[in-house]
Amino acid sequence: METNYSLGIIGLGVMGRSLAQNFLRNGYPPLGYVRSANIPPDLGVAATNSLAELVQSLAPPRTLLLMIPAGDPVEAAIASLKPLLQEGDLIIDGGNSYFADTERRVKELEQAGLHFMGMGVSGGQSGALWGPSLMPGGSSAAWPRLQSMFEAIAAKAEDGAPCVAWMGPGGAGHYVKTVHNGIEYADMQLIAEVYDLLRRGAGFSNPELSAIFAAWNEGPLRSYLVEITAKILARLDEQTGEYLVDLIQDEASQKGTGKWTSQNSFDLGVAIPTINAAVESRLLSALKEERGIAAQVLGGAQSYAGDKQALVAAAGQALYASKITAYAQGFSLLKMASQEYGWDLDLAQVALVWRAGCIIRAALLSDITHAYRRDPALSNLLLDSAFKEAVLSRQAAWRSVVQIAAGIGIPMLAASASLAYFDAYRSARLPANLIQAQRDYFGAHTYQRVDQPGTFHTQWE
């Protein structure tokens, strides 16, 4: 049986097929696996419907890439593959699996003499086909034999560097991808809020907004999400001739990675309010019928009557400051997780891997890399000199935009959360002293004093 395949790929859906074609084009022919008795003729890569044949067609040590939904499907695939594999073989989970599941699978398969990796893959169908951002982690022993192959298929940044690097042991790779998606949620929500303020609040047309976002994409806001926003706003519906964005239902779905980011931040005690606000905004968007009733009962937003061009300029400044704050929160979470789980994440390297191929690729990622190279122990991006200046110079515009939105009734949960985070983080004293007094009053939870050491309790009545 032919054994000149570089790897086996289980799951030839949109992402799996695109990655398979990418491997093939770059000189690493894969063999795909499909469950169907009749293999589709248009896959573009060789395939089999026999797991045994798939494994036998790979020369040891074998590499098998799972591109299937997280959870039970991954467990079932591992269970089916284990009896067919031998010591030193490798299973890679390229889906959006929960990082703790990956931690467990690495340990379980190591006991069976097998390697297991959890790899974050970002970039969607186009990225998978032409160059994704890849975030592998897990069994480090297998990485050297894979490095050249994955560097070949990964996206290349402007300096030619491949957007793939070893993240760390255990679930590090999948965790980095989870936080990437959390930042993605925040970035998308921030853009949507500015769009809402300018469209519904200030009355800009879709062509005008498309031009605004296209212009922003030529400056510090240059990023994939700003770029595609400009294109989306210009797109006409082929059936009606109307702008397509106006015909799309205002309910945003989610697959869970944003929620995982929020949930884990609570476990680690890290504040990420912009990301949390983005998750909550999607939850609010799902209340479509209820929101319609509330609009009739409570009324809606007002129109902005001020200088529209000044608002556009301020909105661009506010969007950039809010984006910096969202990235600062995400990287603070990565820093804490690295310490908690013993991953030793290289945050400068994470930013490098995100520079191309992934959904949150943006010009500011190079600045983030420089920040962590200047100070690998940097506790928060807002303390870096470059980002400090970027935010402080935009502070007046940022406040103005949030105030205007609040004044006319346009919700900006994420932008407001970003500004509040900034103000809280730079407050030498917060009102938690009152909260501690309240806790001691009703629950005798004790408190500490600023003028003397020790723990205290007061009989308040």
Catalytic residue, from 53, 110, 184, 335: name it.
184
Specify the amino acid at residue 107. Answer: K
* 184 annotated active-site: yes
Question: Backbone phi, then psi, for 146, in 5-degree steps?
Answer: -100, -20
Known active-site residue 156:
no
Catalytic-labelled residue, pool 103, 177, 193, 323: 177
CB atoms near residue 298 (< 10 Å): 9
Which residues have CB under 8 Å from 155's CB, separation 6+? 123, 127, 130, 131, 132, 133, 162, 163, 356, 357, 358
Provide the CA 448 distance to its chain's centre, in angstroms. 38
Question: What's the rounded Cα separation, in Å, for the pair 365 and 263?
Answer: 25
**Distance separating alpha carbons of residues 417 and 402, to the nearest angstrom:** 10
CA atoms within 13 A on the CB side of 133: 24
| Among candidate residues 173, 164, 189, the one with its CA nearest the CA of residue 96 | 173
Angstrom distance (rounded) from CA 177 to CA 93:
12
Tell whether omega for the bond before 60 is within 30 degrees of 0, i.e. cis: no
Question: Active-site positions?
Answer: 177, 184
